[in-house]
């Protein structure tokens, strides 16, 4: 990122503040914690599939307060590091605060898209056997964290980005660059560094719209995760889940081949699974009917 | 010959005895109540609660004269009867009228078992757990979740550091 962009991002006052969860997710978390009959697994599942709680938990687990040894990109490992009682108390208290946060349709669409990409990534990982499905969850969930942050910090202006994307048929990156002078990848990278998120996660947040990634990424594990997230991002947009407007991030033939998803039948199977699994997970996190 | 009584039998006996004593308006040692109000014993105690117990449970929970831990225990027990409409009304009313966080948190825990809470109530919950008073309620939440004293300080520090509370 160049110095001018960095300076602009540093001058956004609310940018590195906390990301609130949607009120409906906050109330679901409160219910789960207070309910003696709910299991720890249920709570972990909601935290793992919510961009706000996941980013909070990863941020704390990777902070100087807790960080020992390697950095963590997985919510379950983060929970182990923080401890379940402390985590529940933190999640409960932040949920109380999130209960009546103002949220708009853009918040909801971003949440839906990021959750769907997360689910889609696990489906692709499972279908291709490239990596363990659980490893991709937080990557899918947080790849567009920059959009979420810009939308929080510049609420009215982000609606303008969405309008430009729809009306001018341009990508989010172009619209954001035109309007702000920086884009969601720049903001995501800046915040991921501030939050000490792991190197691979930060790379994906910063570069998921990058060119020639097949050639430029050397680390084979990172390459697999990157293309799984990109493919999921593309498929979820095609399936019109969440932000499903003019999307210019399709994969090349070579990239689909790398994922072993070059045939239409395989893609159809993956798309069908995402369509089936996403609503179930969404209902679980938000409660049925929300 | 030394024999060991299975823990479950002990738990059941303790729970039955405690609930019976409360029904008979007999005093129970405060330390014992604290113990009974922890998992898994509280679950055994709740199983002893019958529909006819709700009036004395409500009376204890709403009383300002009774010891706080006894009132908290009564509120834990009344959860067993949560599906009765007047219990829900009682909890709503106690939520509105109680001023102590110790009681409010117990009532909140019960209210959160209902799926149909109104937006107004959620708003009211949020207004009651404000940043200005977090020093009072946050340690109680940690305690309610089974946290130790060390964790109370730790959670406060983390909330302060990461979430501006």
- Which three-class secondary structure state does DSSP give residue B53? helix
pLDDT of residue A113: 93
A196 touches chain B (CB under 8 A): no
Asked if the structure places residue A1 within a domain, the reply is no
Eight-class DSSP state of B65? S
In this prediction, the answer to ipTM > 0.90 reads no
Q: Are A116 and A110 in contact (CB under 8 A)?
A: no
Report percent pLDDT > 70 for chain B: 98
Option in A65, A89, A96 nearest B129 (CB): A96
Min Cα–Cα distance to chain A from B134, Å: 9
CB-CB neighbours of B8 under 10 Å: 10
Report percent pLDDT > 90 for chain B: 72
B11 pLDDT above the threshold of 90: yes
Q: Tokens 């709680």, residue?
A: A53
Q: How many domains does chain A have?
A: 2
Instruction: Find the domain containing A47 and state its range.
Output: 19-98
B1 pLDDT above the threshold of 60: no
- Do residue A185 and residue A77 come from a single domain? no
Q: Tokens 């660059």, residue?
A: A177
Instruction: Find the domain containing B44 and state its range.
Output: 7-106
Mutation target to probe the A interface, by most A beta carbons within 10 A, among B37, B75, B145, B148 is B145
Domain-ending residue, one of A98, A125, A157: A98
Closest Cα to residue A106, out of A65, A144, A60? A144
Q: Are A40 and A112 in contact (CB under 8 A)?
A: no
pLDDT of residue A43: 93
- DSSP secondary structure string, A132-169? -GGGGHHHHHHTTHHHHHHHHHTHHHHHHHHHHHHHH-
In chain A, what residues touch B158 (CB-CB under 8 Å)? Answer: 60, 65, 86, 90
- Do residue A128 and residue A64 come from a single domain? no
pLDDT of residue B2: 62
Domain-ending residue, one of A79, A98, A117: A98
Closest Cα to residue A38, out of A108, A91, A74? A91
Asked if the structure places residue B153 within a domain, the reply is no
Asked if the structure places residue B135 within a domain, the reply is no
pLDDT of residue A245: 60
Asked if the structure places residue B92 within a domain, the reply is yes
Rounded to an integer, what distance in angstroms lies between the CA atom of residue A30 and that of residue A205? 29
Q: Tokens 């004293």, residue?
A: B149
Query: Each residue of B105-125: pLDDT tens digit?
Result: 999 999 999 988 998 999 999
pLDDT of residue A247: 52
Q: How many domains does chain B have?
A: 1
Give CA separation, A34 vs A28, A72, B79, B120, in Å. Answer: 10, 28, 11, 19
Closest Cα to residue A141, out of A1, A40, A246, A21? A21
- Do residue A142 and residue A232 come from a single domain? yes
In this prediction, residues B49-78 reach a mean pLDDT of 96
- Do residue A182 and residue A273 come from a single domain? yes
pLDDT of residue A19: 87
* Tokens found for residue A167: 């009306």
Residues of chain A with pLDDT under 70: 16, 244-249
Total-model pTM: 0.88
Domain-ending residue, one of A80, A98, A116: A98
Asked if the structure places residue B91 within a domain, the reply is yes
Min Cα–Cα distance to chain B from A66, Å: 10
Task: Give alpha helix (H) positions in B3-148.
Answer: 7-23, 30-36, 41-47, 54-62, 68-78, 85-97, 101-111, 119-128, 134-144
């Amino acid at each position: 990122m160049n110095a001018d962009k960095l300076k602009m991002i540093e001058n956004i006052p609310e940018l590195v503040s906390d990301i609130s969860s949607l009120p409906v997710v906050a109330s679901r978390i409160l219910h789960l914690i207070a309910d003696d009959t709910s299991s720890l697994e249920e709570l972990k599942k909601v935290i793992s599939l919510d961009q706000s709680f996941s980013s909070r938990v990863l941020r704390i687990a990777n902070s100087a307060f807790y960080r020992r040894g390697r950095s963590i990109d997985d919510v379950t490992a983060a929970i182990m590091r923080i401890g379940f009682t402390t985590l529940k108390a933190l999640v409960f208290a932040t949920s109380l605060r999130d209960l009546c946060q103002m949220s708009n349709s853009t918040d909801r669409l971003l949440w839906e898209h990021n959750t769907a990409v997360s689910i889609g990534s696990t489906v692709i990982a499972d279908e291709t056997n490239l990596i363990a499905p659980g490893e991709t969850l937080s990557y899918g969930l947080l790849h567009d964290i920059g959009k979420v942050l810009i939308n929080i910090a510049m609420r009215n202006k982000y609606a303008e980005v969405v309008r430009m994307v729809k009306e001018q048929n341009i990508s989010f990156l172009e619209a954001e660059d035109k309007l702000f002078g920086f884009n969601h990848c720049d903001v995501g990278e800046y915040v991921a560094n501030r939050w000490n998120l792991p190197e691979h996660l930060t790379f994906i947040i910063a570069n998921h719209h990058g060119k020639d990634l097949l050639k430029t990424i050397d680390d084979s594990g990172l390459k697999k995760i990157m293309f799984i997230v990109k493919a999921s991002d593309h498929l979820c947009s095609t399936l019109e889940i969440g932000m499903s407007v003019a999307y210019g991030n399709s994969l090349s033939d070579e990239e689909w081949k790398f994922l072993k998803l070059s045939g239409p039948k395989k893609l159809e199977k993956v798309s069908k699974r995402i369509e089936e699994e996403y609503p179930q997970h969404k209902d679980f996190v938000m409660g049925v009917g929300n | 010959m030394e024999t060991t009584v299975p823990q479950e039998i002990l738990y059941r006996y303790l729970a039955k005895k405690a609930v019976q004593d409360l029904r008979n308006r007999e005093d129970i040692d405060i330390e014992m109540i604290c113990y009974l109000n922890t998992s898994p014993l509280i679950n055994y105690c709740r199983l002893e609660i019958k529909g006819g117990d709700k009036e004395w449970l409500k009376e204890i929970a709403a009383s300002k004269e009774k010891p706080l831990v006894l009132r908290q225990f009564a509120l834990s027990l009344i959860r067993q009867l949560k599906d009765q409409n007047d219990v829900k009304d009682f909890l709503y009313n106690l939520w509105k009228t109680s001023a102590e966080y110790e009681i409010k948190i117990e009532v909140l825990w019960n209210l959160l078992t209902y799926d149909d809470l109104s937006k107004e109530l959620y708003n009211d919950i949020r207004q009651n757990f404000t940043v200005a008073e977090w020093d009072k309620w946050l340690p109680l939440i940690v305690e309610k979740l089974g946290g130790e004293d060390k964790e109370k300080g730790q959670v406060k520090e983390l909330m302060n550091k990461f979430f501006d509370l």
